[in-house]
Structure 1
Amino acid sequence: MKDSKEISRLIAEFEKQEQALVLDNLLFKETVDTLRIAEEKSAVLNSIVESSDDAIISKDLNGIITSWNTAAYKIFGYTSEEIVGESILKLIPRGREDEETHILNQLRQGIRVDHFETRRLRKDGNLVDVSLTISPILNEEGSIIGVSKIARDLTAHRKAEVVSERLSAIINSSDDAIISKDLNSIVTSWNDSAERIFGYTAAEMIGESILKIIPPDRYTEEPRILSQLKQGNRVDHFETVRMRKDGGLIYVSLTISPIKDRNGDIVGLSKIARDITENKLMEKKKDEFIGFVSHELKTPLTSLRSYVQIALHKARQQELDFIANALSRAEIQTKKMEKMISDFLSVSRFEEGKMQLEISRFDIVGLLKSCIEDASILSSRHPIIYEGIQECYVNGDIEKISLVMTNLIGNAQKYSPEQGNITVSCIANDKNVTISIQDEGIGISEKDQKQLFQKFYRVNSEKTRFISGFGIGLYLVSMILDLHESNIRVKSCQGEGSTFCFDLPAAV
């Protein structure tokens, strides 16, 4: 009986030990799991700290640095080995030492320091602008045992601010209206000159549609401009009409650029609008004067040419060679004056909307050869060669295409060296006929090519200063071809000559 009790006691004691062992195993496993989780969290935290673009630094209450991440090295220039164990004062410029004491006092009062902007000293002695976020490091009892700092480098931000301030100053002091808008045509910025030119204040326009200053008959310009910008084409010096707050219309020259985000996507438009109303009115008066004078000169010049022709005929009959030669030269000059006056009148009619086309089917090759013959009579200093097909019919206004050819061949003669070849060619396909005029002249720079077809524009160089002209010939050519839904094109290189070409629709 006694042995039975002893056995029961031993069994009970064994069971207690077994339970204790199981409990110890569970506690050990829980401790291991806790340590593993803590290690994982620590690894994640270390990874975040090391991959941060901001300097993350910790120090004790004596200002001794206790940790230093990779970004701190990039910003301040010190490696972790060089700086850990050193005083934080190593980074603080003279005159700013009291900032540390002030910050520590704030932290002791439970006040967190956020985005404190200051300057710190790099290893190379240069100063760097930084934004500091500072937090206390607490022990288990809640006492401060150190300080953690996050320092963000503000250098790029400061540079961007300076650039932004300069741009703002330029925009605000500009005599041109500088306006930006989003892709829905809503105005997002409006400078002082925009207010002066259009009459609306920034408060009245920002958030409103740009259509507020566009006359209704010009609404289609906006989608057309946006389409060009989306194709990567910048819009330069686009002349149009806009509407002021008082309802008055003004002429403006627009330069329009896309506003792009970091990905290169267009998010808006920037417009520079220059008021050219005064210039346009002066130009209109000048055109009216030129038109009037040209018209008044045409009648007496026609009579003068008739008298010269009669006198030339009699001089040749009487074999008065000197007089005949002089009158022949006078007749050539009257032809030149007639052409010049005709050009001025054509420009005037076009700009008044009075130039109308009389479309007919005609042999373009016959017209080209006729123009070559006339040009050769006026100036025999340049051989003019025709190349291409011998017969080809097109649809167009024969008189005005003749004017185009006269101007293009005349230009080739003026800007070519003596005996320099001029080649007129004509090629055709199923739909179009291409006419080109090639010379061996002085050539045209890329800069001048962009403005070549503007009214009164002349190339200004040493080689052109003694060549006469008013700068309306190519302008007239461009206008006439525009009426034919065609355009004049130029290929040129300075010193190597130029080629002008255009297309006309082939006639069936």
Structure 2
Amino acid sequence: MILIVDDKPENLVSLRGFLEHNNFSVDSASSGEEALRKVLKTIYSLIILDVQMPGMDGFEVAETILDYSKAKDTPILFLSAVNIDKEFITRGYQSGAVDYITKPFDPDILLLKVKTFNRLFEQNNQLKQIQKSLKKEIEQRKLLEKKKDEFISIASHELKTPLTSMRGYIQLLERIINKENNEDLKTYISKASFQINKLGDLVSDLLDISNMESGKMKFNIRPFSFQDMLNNAVENIQHIFPEHSIIRKGSADLIFLGDEMRLEQVVVNYLTNAIKYSPDKREIEVESIITKDTLEIRVSDSGIGISKELQDQLFEKFFRVEESSNRFQGLGIGLYICREIIQRHNGICGVNSQLGKGSTFFFNLPIKNT
């Protein structure tokens, strides 16, 4: 709806008839004070305002309207037959008007301007509604994300207690079976222990994510031998997967300032992934490269690989490649945790891979931390 403000009844009747003839809804006010009362109750798409009026003139009305939050976006068009000098036109724009038309005016030009300002107001309102809707959706996404993180945290903590008990009972069984020297039972217990350890690793990953999201993940920063940490990680994996051959290249013989346990967690994740996703191959390569600025660790396999278009998503939370999700178990959070750990050490993670020909996962760390 358009509001016309003019103290002369003949002007109101004439302009109102013209606009209504062109399919606009129109309201009118015969004074500045009446216009302000109407603006308090109704949102208008355009206000056509006479300048010279008794009491409050058009400039004062415009300035007051702009101070009112609900009407501050309503375009104001000044229409005047008396105040046509440059100083009045200038003041009109300074008062917040979008245009200043002097009489006599061309009806076609006025109609075009009214249509344009009316359309702009409607589009602006539509944009506001879209923004409001998006904001509401984002707040709902954030609430759901918070609830999900709370659930992960609670579930992870609750799972740790029975897992600890199960590990204890398995260890007791292992001692009893070792005394009886029953090979079949040893095999079954070993498999059960392996599966419990896998479940424990998943719970630990969920806890890590929960702590990351809440900013509670702690890092124990201290100097340590990077080469010793790397050796320890490789030896542990080699012990668990004796049928695989882990080939070493290069050296990481330096003292590094960081969290040794967390960085070993990254190396172990890279190694287990390399073994997991190359089921028909038996060789894994670990390469250490020291340059002037960085220490780079590369873990390469000759496994299934991953397509180029999916490589950028590998380090995202809960991402899993659909083609391999049925063959290989996992939650899709290991690499996300690796990226967070490396980023906390001011480094970067990445992957180079070719579908069907294997992958090389790497991370770079700044040499200034040595």
TM-score range, shorter chain: 0.5 to 0.7
Is 1:306–2:163 an aligned residue pair?
no
Counting aligned pairs with the same residue, the percent is: 38
Are the equivalent residues in 2 in contact too, given 1:349–1:355 (CA < 8 A)?
A: yes
Match of 1:490 among 351, 354, 361: 351
Q: 330, 338, 349: which is aligned to 1:469?
A: 330
Give the corresponding residue for 1:327.
189
2:3 paired residue number: none
Q: Secondary structure at the match of 2:192?
A: helix
- CA offsets 1:210-259 (integer angstroms, 9 cap, x no match): xxxxxxxxxxxxxxxxxxxxxxxxxxxxxxxxxx9xxxx948xxxxxxxx
What is the alpha-carbon distance in structure 1 between the residues aligned to residue 252 and residue 238 of structure 2?
A: 20
Extract unaligned runs of 5+ from structure 1: 1-188, 200-243, 252-274
Aligned partner of 1:291 among 134, 153, 172? 153
| Structure 2 Cα separation of the partners of residues 376 and 310 of structure 1 | 26
1:446 corresponding residue in structure 2: 308
Q: How far apart in 2 are the matches of 1:282 and 1:408? A: 31
Counterpart for residue 362 of structure 1: 224
Paired with 1:378 and 1:192, the residues of 2 have a C-alpha distance of 64
Q: CA deviation at 1:393?
A: 2.1
Structure 1 residue 484, shift from structure 2 partner: 1.0
Output the CA distance in 2 between the equivalents of 1:471 and 1:425: 25
Match of 2:129 among 189, 196, 208: 196
Report the alpha carbon displacement of residue 190 of structure 1 after superposing the two structures with TM.
6.9
Q: Tell me, yes or no, if the aligned pair for 2:281 and 2:303 is still in contact at 8 Å.
A: no
- The aligned runs of 1:9-88 (5 Å cut-off) are none
Conserved? CA contact 2:306–2:355, under 8 Å: yes
Structure with bigger strand share is: 1
The CA RMSD measured in Å over matched residues stands at 2.4
Aligned partner of 2:277 in structure 1 is 415
CA distance in 2, matches of 1:381, 1:282: 44
Structure 2: give runs of 5+ residues left out of the alignment. 1-121
Q: In the aligned structure 1, how far is the partner of 2:164 from the partner of 2:229?
A: 24
Letter aligned with residue 336 of structure 1: K
Q: Does residue 352 of structure 1 match 2:285?
A: no
SS of residue in 1 equivalent to 2:279: coil
- Cα distance, 1:285–1:378 mapped onto 2, change above 3 Å: farther
Q: Deviations for 1:14-52, whole angstroms, at most 9, x for unmatched residues? A: xxxxxxxxxxxxxxxxxxxxxxxxxxxxxxxxxxxxxxx
Q: Which residue in the other structure is 2:95 paired with? A: none
Cα distance in 2 for residues equivalent to 1:250 and 1:365: 49
How far the C-alpha of 1:191 sits from its partner, in A, is: 7.1
1:99-128 Cα offsets, whole Å, 9 max, x none, are: xxxxxxxxxxxxxxxxxxxxxxxxxxxxxx
Report the alpha carbon displacement of residue 193 of structure 1 after superposing the two structures with TM.
Answer: 6.2
Deviation of 1:432 (Å): 2.3
- The Cα offsets for residues 81-101 of structure 1, whole Å up to 9 and x where unpaired, read as xxxxxxxxxxxxxxxxxxxxx
Q: Which residue of 2 aligns with 1:271?
A: none
Distance in structure 2 (CA, Å) of the matches to 1:344 and 1:399: 17
Give the corresponding residue for 2:110. none
- Give the match's secondary structure for 1:498: strand
Count of equivalent residues: 248
What is aligned with 1:373? 235
Change (3 A) 1:430 1:317: farther
**1:315 matches 2:177:** yes
| Post-superposition CA distance 1:359-401 (Å, at most 9, x none) | 1111122212222222233334432222221633222111111
Is this contact kept in 2: 1:395–1:504, CA < 8 A?
no
The partner residue of 2:297 within 423, 435, 442 is 435
**Is 2:245–2:284's contact at 8 Å kept on the other side of the alignment?**
yes
One-letter amino acid of the counterpart of residue 314, structure 1: I
Q: Calculate the TM-score normalised by the size of structure 2.
A: 0.62
Change in Cα spacing, 1:353 to 1:331, as seen in structure 2 (3 Å) is same
Q: Which amino acid aligns with 1:343?
A: D
Using a 3 Å threshold, how does the CA distance of structure 1 residues 373 and 191 change in structure 2: closer, same or farther? farther
Give how far 1:477 is off: 0.8
Match of residue 382, structure 1, among 223, 244, 250: 244
Secondary structure at 1:306 match in 2: helix
Q: Which has the higher helix share?
A: 2
TM alignment of 1:174-185, pairs within 5 A: none
Taking the TM superposition and a 5 Å limit, the aligned residue runs for 1:86-485 are 194-199=127-132, 250=135, 275-389=137-251, 391-461=253-323, 463-485=324-346
Instruction: Find the aligned partners of 2:319 and 2:223 in 1 and give their Cα distance.
Output: 33
Compared CA separation, residues 454 and 390, structure 1 to 2 (3 A): closer
**Equivalence for 1:207:** none
